[in-house]
Amino acid sequence: MSGSHIIVVDLGFGDAGKGATVDWLCAPESGFEVAAVVRFNGGAQAAHNVIADGRHHTFAQFGSGTFAGVPTLLSRHMLVEPIALAAEARGLAALGVRDPLSLLRIDGRALLTTPIHIAANRAREDARGRARHGSCGRGIGETAGYALAHTAPTVSDCLRPRVLRRKLRALAAYYEPLIASSEHRYEPIDDLVDMYREFAAAVPIVGDDQLARFARRGTVVFEGAQGVLLDEWRGFHPHTTWSTVEPCNAHAMLAEIGARGYVLGVTRTYQTRHGAGPFPTEDPGLTLPEPHNAAGRYQGEFRLGHLDTVLLRYAIEVSGGVDGLAVNHLDAPGRRYAATGYTVDGAAWDRVPAGRGRDLDHQRELTRLLARAEPVLAEMPDDPVPWLARTLGVPVALTADGPGRRHRTRTAYPVAA
């Protein structure tokens, strides 16, 4: 990783420990001189837990390097929710972070997630009943979906109240039939415009030169949200996020400044998933402690299962490969087994076909396939790290046997270990 910008991507369904990994990369003990954390996908639905210096915070839009004093750039690929961002800043200030908003830079091209999107998201998911997709209820899908066919509000519009008011009125009119028949409501348009004007006065809204400025000062860490198995094009449709999770957006931003990145794929020693969707290794008998993960009204239950090397290989493939692995939760009790293959309708499978990308019919077929898959479980060795490096063909660069910085170890487990 030395000498490179670093792209941190979750190889599962999320919750693999990206936040704690980014926090360590930004801390002095890592040895990196990190100039900024860049968020390259997702929005306010992210929940990256960091425990450092006796403090705990669940990072949503702020980068997980904030406790280390590292600035955050919310890139043009982010969906920015200013009201939640202000609440997160207040939470960080209460934990001793001095003037959190001064650590933020936001690309003006980023889409704006509003209370209108959030109300529409919740109304739509409520209407699905038992056929829910597993939304976080934070308006992410509605923000991205609306922007595909309409002139959507962006962060830069917060500097132009007349433009913003017009766009918000159009947004409200579009969603009126969906929201009116639901229990969900939002603030008056003029109140929203006033709030967004205050937001624009408090946070620097920047252009496409900001990344290059940070890169000249040191290492840039790109912090992904969610997991590759939830990617809008590579996840198992329809149980996906409206966000490109695999690292192509981070690669593209680095290419624009003539730089390259080291991709650090993050995994646990067991598998987790929030809410609906295929989960071949799920085991209701697992009772691993998860103090920061619980059921949510829209996400659904938090589910546990055994490590799945078939899905890990799939995630690595659709990410264009990764340069190293960060293996977290080595201290978790009961993590004895891993799936090395599947049986599907009596046939043996050792890989999930990646397809060509942007083919939702293919992804739906994978969803149906995984729903029928029975895992072939093997017992992992007492030290699973060298075994994982060999099995996945990727060196392990970082391990963690606990939640804090002191529990992380920079390692050198090559593929042929």
Catalytically active residues are 15, 48
Nearest to 320 by CA among 217, 251, 405: 251
Angle, CA 341 vertex, CA 372 and CA 360 arms, to 5°: 50
Long-range contacts of 403-408 (CB under 8 A, 24+ apart): 403/20, 403/49, 403/51, 404/20, 404/51, 404/52, 405/23, 405/24, 405/27, 405/29, 405/52, 407/331, 408/20, 408/21, 408/24
> 10 Å Cβ neighbour count for 351?
13
Contact indicator for 391, 384 with CB cutoff of 8 Å: no
Nearest to 254 by CA among 231, 220, 226: 220
Torsion of CA 267, 328, 26, 249, to 10 degrees: 0
Buried b / exposed e along 158-185 (16+ C-beta atoms within 10 A): beeeeebbebbeebbebbeebbeeeebe
Q: How far apart are the C-alpha atoms of 219 and 221, rounded to whole Å?
A: 6
Residue that has been written with the tokens 């829209």 in this structure: 298
- φ and ψ of 332, to 5 deg: -65, 130
Residue that has been written with the tokens 């509605």 in this structure: 142
Residue that has been written with the tokens 């910008």 in this structure: 5
